[in-house]
Amino acid sequence: MGKTLFDKIWDSHVVSHEEGFPDILYIDTHFIHEVTSPQAFNGLRERGLQVFRPRQTVATADHNVPTINQHLPIQEELSRLQVDMLTKNCEEFGIELYGLGHRYQGIVHVIGPELGVTRPGGTYVCGDSHTSTHGAFGAIAFGIGTSQVEQVLATQCILQPKPKRMRIDVNGSLQKGVGAKDIILYIISKISAAGGTGYFVEYAGDTIRSLSMEGRMTICNMSIEMGARGGLIAPDDITFAYVKDRKFAPKGEAWDGALAYWKTLYSDEDAEFDKVLSFKAEDIAPMITYGTNPGMGMGITENIPAASQFDKQEQQSYLKALHYMGLDDNKPLLGHPVDYVFIGSCTNSRIEDLRQVAAFMKGKHKADHVTVWVVPGSKQVEIQAKAEGLDKIFEEAGFTLREPGCSACLGMNEDKIPAGKYCISTSNRNFEGRQGPNSRTFLASPLMAAAAAVTGRVTDIREFDLEEVG
């Protein structure tokens, strides 16, 4: 019987397989950041251990960092201490750090691919659930807790029970104005925030194949929002073209060898999956979430579901969510006022996202009452955006282009949405208080966020002429 892509990569990384024990899996590169690593380094010190393979560990500061005046010391004391701690730990243990001000600094899931560290066939972990992003390259990548960060620092391996495999096919042509973010929000709305728990998902089908690497990363990024530990997409020419010539990508003969190997990375035709789901691209409208988990999403012209359609247990949680959001059931969301627009996060802050928003905004201006933050995913994205003049377009549109970091996706720095305010956000989570205490989040694509910035309310992107946007 054939093997799935997931099994091919997993099996090639098993260090030890013993009956009654989880597999010991080798990790090619371990990404670390300031928030989930300090306790792991303390653990190493208590054990008297060194980092096992410091060259296979890549560090950056992203979660906590301010997105203005990055050249100045961090104002907020606890954030500064945490970032300083990362610097100290990296120095002591010999780890390469792309810290604040470094030209490679940025959101960990943006810089890995951008630097050519993330490659097909590799295994990647990080103390961050959106590590699933790297799966877009045909790799096994997943988020881990701090005890496991310590484990990987100490051994370059992880103890991990093997998950089940799911394949999600999306076939057909997308409507104008519908993109990768809508595809993944649609899938999660259909299978729920827990529908993928226990699985690793392979995304397949001609719609997925047609996506750019940026789009594929958006899809894999949100695998965790349906509970799946990770998602992956078989590599193809689009993948290879993206990786080629990047800073740490293999060069010369090593490239040829790598490419030959990467071309073997696909699920065999007779490979068996534990579950297969299928969706039609034509059924996907521009999406928006109305609730407090990413599964609570709908097509933009739909009504918020009626509470009566849930059973008693679910209804209690459902009404709590709508109450938090200040919304009524069985009503449309279209036209609802928004106060903030956040374009950023490891889901949608890559150069392609910024280009798309800029192309749409050219000659348009934001509504007066709306505050718009555009936060690039990395220093390189910021530099590129400026080189292309996107910063000028944003400025003319009344948007602020900030400096790279996780920013208002989780409000660990100063970029918080005030209590009671509505933010349409290109990030990945609409949990209660995620963007600041009592803030209210509508998740959507970069284009939908830009459209809402223009009108100041929740808007169907299809109302605009999209010829220029592509």
Partner 1 sequence: MAKKTFKHIQSTAVPIHAENIDTDQIIPARFLKATTRSGFGENLFRDWRFDASNKPIADFVLNNPLYGGQILVGGKNFGCGSSREHAAWAISDYGFEVVVSSFFADIFKGNALNNGLLPIQVSEDFLQTIFAEIEKDPQTKIEVDLVQQKIILLRLGKSESFEIDSYKKTCLLNGYDDIDFILSHREKIEAYEQRANHDYVLPS
Helical spans, DSSP H, in 156-201: 180-191
Rounded least distance, CB 412 to partner 1, Å: 5
Please tell me whether residue 36 binds partner 1 under the rule CB under 8 A.
yes
Please tell me whether residue 46 binds partner 1 under the rule CB under 8 A.
yes
Residue 257 neighbours by CB distance under 10 Å: 11
Kindly list the strands in the beta sheet with 14-16, ordered across the sheet, starting from the edge strand earlier in the chain.
14-16, 23-26, 157-160
Rounded least distance, CB 86 to partner 1, Å: 10
Site mask for partner 1 (CB under 8 A), range 109-138, x = bound: ------xxx-x-xxx---xxx---------
Please tell me whether residue 91 binds partner 1 under the rule CB under 8 A.
no
**Which among 168-176, 291-299, 354-362, 370-378 is the span making contact with partner 1, rule CB under 8 A?**
291-299
Q: Exposed (0-12), middle (13-18) or buried (19+): which is 114, by Cβ within 10 Å? A: buried
Q: Are 440 and 456 in contact (CB under 8 A)?
A: no
Rounded least distance, CB 148 to partner 1, Å: 7
Rounded least distance, CB 222 to partner 1, Å: 12
Cα separation, 194 vs 54, whole angstroms: 35
Please tell me whether residue 322 binds partner 1 under the rule CB under 8 A.
no
Please tell me whether residue 193 binds partner 1 under the rule CB under 8 A.
yes
Rounded least distance, CB 169 to partner 1, Å: 23
Total residues in contact with partner 1, by rule CB under 8 A: 89
Please tell me whether residue 386 binds partner 1 under the rule CB under 8 A.
no
Rounded least distance, CB 21 to partner 1, Å: 5
Cα separation, 167 vs 215, whole angstroms: 18
Smaller CB distance to partner 1: residue 219 or 321?
Answer: 321
Please tell me whether residue 155 binds partner 1 under the rule CB under 8 A.
yes
Q: Are 399 and 453 in contact (CB under 8 A)?
A: yes
Smaller CB distance to partner 1: residue 202 or 352?
Answer: 202
Indicate which single residue of 8, 181, 429, 440 sits in contact with partner 1 (rule: CB under 8 A).
Answer: 429
Smaller CB distance to partner 1: residue 36 or 426?
Answer: 36
Q: Are 180 and 219 in contact (CB under 8 A)?
A: yes
Smaller CB distance to partner 1: residue 241 or 254?
Answer: 254
Indicate which single residue of 69, 241, 261, 278 sits in contact with partner 1 (rule: CB under 8 A).
Answer: 261
Indicate which single residue of 251, 263, 323, 365 sits in contact with partner 1 (rule: CB under 8 A).
Answer: 251
Please tell me whether residue 106 binds partner 1 under the rule CB under 8 A.
no
Q: In which region does residue 367 sit, left (phi positive, over 0), alpha (psi from -120 to 50) or beta (all else)?
A: beta
Indicate which single residue of 161, 237, 269, 369 sits in contact with partner 1 (rule: CB under 8 A).
Answer: 161
Handedness of CA 227, 233, 238, 239 (dihedral sign): positive
Please tell me whether residue 219 binds partner 1 under the rule CB under 8 A.
no
Task: Dump the DSSP string for 322-362.
Answer: HHHHT--TTSB-TT-B-SEEEE-TTTS-SHHHHHHHHHHHT
Indicate which single residue of 58, 141, 298, 341 sits in contact with partner 1 (rule: CB under 8 A).
Answer: 58
Q: Are 98 and 4 in contact (CB under 8 A)?
A: no
Q: Which residues pair with 157 in a beta bridge?
A: 26
Please tell me whether residue 264 binds partner 1 under the rule CB under 8 A.
no
**Which among 165-173, 289-297, 349-357, 369-377 is the span making contact with partner 1, rule CB under 8 A?**
289-297
Indicate which single residue of 99, 172, 198, 456 sits in contact with partner 1 (rule: CB under 8 A).
Answer: 198
Smaller CB distance to partner 1: residue 122 or 446?
Answer: 122
Please tell me whether residue 227 binds partner 1 under the rule CB under 8 A.
yes
**β-pairing verdict for 157-160 and 23-26:** antiparallel
Cα separation, 462 vs 470, whole angstroms: 13
Site mask for partner 1 (CB under 8 A), range 394-423, x = bound: ----------------xxx------x----
Cα separation, 428 vs 225, whole angstroms: 8
- Residue 287 belongs to what H/E stretch? strand 287-289
Amino acid at 86: L
* Residue written as token pair 């209690």: 316
Residue 252 neighbours by CB distance under 10 Å: 7
